[in-house]
Amino acid sequence: MDTTTGRLTYRDATDADVDELVALIESAYRGDSSRAGWTTEADILQGQRTDPEGVLEVIKSPDSRLLTVERDGVVVACCQLEHRGAYAYFGMFAVSPALQGAGLGKTIIAEAERRARKAWDVTEMHMTVISVREDLIAWYERRGYRRTGEMSPFPYGDERFGIPQRDDLQFELLVKPLV
Protein backbone atom coordinates (compact mmCIF):
# COMPACT_ATOMS: atom_id res chain seq x y z
CA MET A 1 0.00 0.00 0.00
CA ASP A 2 1.34 3.44 -0.90
CA THR A 3 1.59 5.49 2.31
CA THR A 4 3.18 8.56 0.72
CA THR A 5 -0.14 10.02 -0.36
CA GLY A 6 -3.47 10.50 1.33
CA ARG A 7 -4.75 12.53 4.22
CA LEU A 8 -3.42 12.03 7.73
CA THR A 9 -5.87 10.97 10.40
CA TYR A 10 -5.22 11.32 14.12
CA ARG A 11 -6.68 9.27 16.94
CA ASP A 12 -5.84 8.19 20.45
CA ALA A 13 -4.17 4.79 20.63
CA THR A 14 -6.02 1.84 22.13
CA ASP A 15 -4.82 -1.40 23.71
CA ALA A 16 -5.19 -3.05 20.29
CA ASP A 17 -2.48 -0.73 18.87
CA VAL A 18 0.27 -1.64 21.34
CA ASP A 19 2.20 -4.18 19.27
CA GLU A 20 2.04 -2.07 16.09
CA LEU A 21 3.18 1.06 17.96
CA VAL A 22 6.08 -0.75 19.67
CA ALA A 23 7.20 -1.98 16.24
CA LEU A 24 6.94 1.55 14.78
CA ILE A 25 8.91 3.14 17.63
CA GLU A 26 11.59 0.45 17.49
CA SER A 27 11.89 0.81 13.70
CA ALA A 28 12.40 4.58 13.98
CA TYR A 29 15.17 4.45 16.57
CA ARG A 30 16.86 1.06 16.84
CA GLY A 31 18.54 -1.52 14.66
CA ASP A 32 19.16 -1.63 10.94
CA SER A 33 15.61 -0.60 9.99
CA SER A 34 16.11 2.73 11.75
CA ARG A 35 19.03 3.57 9.47
CA ALA A 36 16.54 4.14 6.63
CA GLY A 37 15.52 7.33 8.43
CA TRP A 38 17.56 10.06 10.07
CA THR A 39 16.22 9.67 13.65
CA THR A 40 18.19 6.50 14.34
CA GLU A 41 19.89 6.08 17.70
CA ALA A 42 21.48 2.79 16.62
CA ASP A 43 25.03 4.14 16.99
CA ILE A 44 24.53 5.38 20.56
CA LEU A 45 22.02 2.88 21.94
CA GLN A 46 21.30 -0.77 21.30
CA GLY A 47 18.55 -2.94 22.71
CA GLN A 48 14.99 -1.73 22.95
CA ARG A 49 13.59 1.82 22.80
CA THR A 50 10.31 0.84 24.43
CA ASP A 51 8.23 -2.21 25.21
CA PRO A 52 4.54 -3.16 25.27
CA GLU A 53 4.28 -2.33 28.98
CA GLY A 54 5.69 1.17 28.45
CA VAL A 55 3.34 1.90 25.54
CA LEU A 56 0.32 0.52 27.42
CA GLU A 57 1.22 2.66 30.44
CA VAL A 58 1.02 5.80 28.27
CA ILE A 59 -2.29 4.68 26.75
CA LYS A 60 -3.82 3.94 30.18
CA SER A 61 -2.56 7.05 32.01
CA PRO A 62 -5.40 9.51 32.69
CA ASP A 63 -3.17 12.54 32.02
CA SER A 64 -1.61 11.17 28.86
CA ARG A 65 -2.55 10.17 25.35
CA LEU A 66 -0.64 8.37 22.66
CA LEU A 67 -1.62 10.14 19.47
CA THR A 68 -1.63 7.67 16.59
CA VAL A 69 -1.28 8.97 13.05
CA GLU A 70 -2.56 7.01 10.07
CA ARG A 71 -2.46 7.52 6.34
CA ASP A 72 -4.74 5.37 4.19
CA GLY A 73 -5.41 3.09 7.18
CA VAL A 74 -1.72 2.46 7.93
CA VAL A 75 -0.09 3.70 11.15
CA VAL A 76 2.77 5.97 10.03
CA ALA A 77 3.61 7.88 13.23
CA CYS A 78 2.82 8.41 16.89
CA CYS A 79 3.61 10.74 19.77
CA GLN A 80 2.88 10.96 23.46
CA LEU A 81 1.18 14.02 24.91
CA GLU A 82 1.03 14.29 28.68
CA HIS A 83 -0.66 17.03 30.68
CA ARG A 84 1.66 18.32 33.41
CA GLY A 85 -0.03 21.38 34.85
CA ALA A 86 0.85 24.55 32.91
CA TYR A 87 2.65 22.60 30.19
CA ALA A 88 2.36 19.46 28.12
CA TYR A 89 5.13 16.91 27.70
CA PHE A 90 5.85 15.64 24.19
CA GLY A 91 7.54 12.27 23.85
CA MET A 92 7.61 8.85 22.23
CA PHE A 93 7.63 10.58 18.82
CA ALA A 94 8.18 8.19 15.96
CA VAL A 95 7.71 8.49 12.20
CA SER A 96 8.10 5.46 9.95
CA PRO A 97 11.74 5.54 8.71
CA ALA A 98 10.67 5.16 5.08
CA LEU A 99 8.62 8.36 5.36
CA GLN A 100 11.13 10.53 7.22
CA GLY A 101 12.50 13.63 5.56
CA ALA A 102 9.31 14.50 3.65
CA GLY A 103 7.76 16.97 6.12
CA LEU A 104 5.53 14.50 7.95
CA GLY A 105 7.18 15.09 11.33
CA LYS A 106 6.74 18.84 11.14
CA THR A 107 3.04 18.44 10.30
CA ILE A 108 2.50 15.99 13.17
CA ILE A 109 4.29 18.03 15.82
CA ALA A 110 2.28 21.13 14.85
CA GLU A 111 -0.95 19.13 15.21
CA ALA A 112 0.22 17.72 18.57
CA GLU A 113 0.93 21.25 19.83
CA ARG A 114 -2.50 22.42 18.63
CA ARG A 115 -4.23 19.51 20.37
CA ALA A 116 -2.33 20.06 23.65
CA ARG A 117 -3.28 23.76 23.68
CA LYS A 118 -6.92 22.99 22.93
CA ALA A 119 -7.34 20.04 25.31
CA TRP A 120 -5.43 21.36 28.31
CA ASP A 121 -5.03 25.12 27.75
CA VAL A 122 -1.26 24.77 28.29
CA THR A 123 1.20 27.55 27.49
CA GLU A 124 4.31 25.46 26.81
CA MET A 125 5.39 22.15 25.34
CA HIS A 126 8.34 20.39 27.00
CA MET A 127 10.41 17.48 25.77
CA THR A 128 13.70 15.81 26.57
CA VAL A 129 16.22 14.81 23.91
CA ILE A 130 19.49 12.94 24.30
CA SER A 131 21.98 15.82 24.36
CA VAL A 132 24.40 14.27 21.85
CA ARG A 133 21.63 14.15 19.21
CA GLU A 134 22.65 17.52 17.73
CA ASP A 135 20.85 16.90 14.41
CA LEU A 136 17.59 16.10 16.17
CA ILE A 137 17.90 19.05 18.56
CA ALA A 138 18.54 21.34 15.57
CA TRP A 139 15.36 19.99 13.92
CA TYR A 140 13.34 20.84 17.05
CA GLU A 141 14.96 24.28 17.22
CA ARG A 142 13.73 24.94 13.69
CA ARG A 143 10.23 24.13 15.01
CA GLY A 144 10.55 26.81 17.73
CA TYR A 145 11.92 24.75 20.63
CA ARG A 146 14.79 26.19 22.64
CA ARG A 147 17.54 24.45 24.53
CA THR A 148 17.40 25.13 28.26
CA GLY A 149 20.73 23.64 29.28
CA GLU A 150 18.79 21.75 31.96
CA MET A 151 20.04 18.17 31.96
CA SER A 152 18.75 14.98 33.53
CA PRO A 153 20.65 11.70 33.73
CA PHE A 154 20.25 8.86 31.27
CA PRO A 155 18.97 5.72 33.07
CA TYR A 156 22.18 3.70 32.74
CA GLY A 157 21.67 0.12 33.85
CA ASP A 158 17.94 0.06 32.97
CA GLU A 159 17.81 -1.89 29.71
CA ARG A 160 14.14 -0.92 29.21
CA PHE A 161 15.60 2.30 27.74
CA GLY A 162 18.34 0.66 25.71
CA ILE A 163 21.95 -0.38 26.12
CA PRO A 164 24.20 2.70 25.89
CA GLN A 165 27.19 2.52 23.56
CA ARG A 166 28.87 5.54 25.18
CA ASP A 167 29.17 6.96 28.70
CA ASP A 168 28.19 10.60 28.11
CA LEU A 169 24.45 10.29 27.52
CA GLN A 170 22.03 12.64 29.25
CA PHE A 171 18.73 14.29 28.42
CA GLU A 172 18.34 17.99 27.72
CA LEU A 173 15.06 19.76 28.31
CA LEU A 174 13.71 21.63 25.28
CA VAL A 175 10.81 24.07 25.67
CA LYS A 176 8.50 25.84 23.25
CA PRO A 177 5.94 28.51 24.15
CA LEU A 178 2.51 27.67 22.75
CA VAL A 179 0.83 30.93 21.79
In tens, the pLDDT along 150-172 reads: 999 988 888 777 777 888 889 99
Q: Which residues pair with 173 in a beta bridge?
A: 128
147: exposed, middle or buried (Cβ count in 10 Å: 0-12, 13-18, 19+): middle
pLDDT of residue 56: 94
In tens, the pLDDT along 28-62 reads: 776 666 565 666 666 677 666 788 899 999 999 99
pLDDT of residue 146: 98
pLDDT of residue 41: 64
Q: Measured between alpha carbons, how far is 54 from 22 in angstroms, rounded to an integer?
A: 9
The answer to whether residues 54 and 121 touch, using CB atoms and an 8 Å cutoff, is no
Task: List the one residue out of 151, 155, 145 whose CA is nearest residue 171.
Answer: 151
Mean pLDDT of the chain: 88
pLDDT of residue 36: 59
Q: Is the pLDDT of residue 2 over 80?
A: no
The answer to whether residues 97 and 28 touch, using CB atoms and an 8 Å cutoff, is yes
In tens, the pLDDT along 94-108 reads: 999 889 888 999 999
Identity of residue 79: C
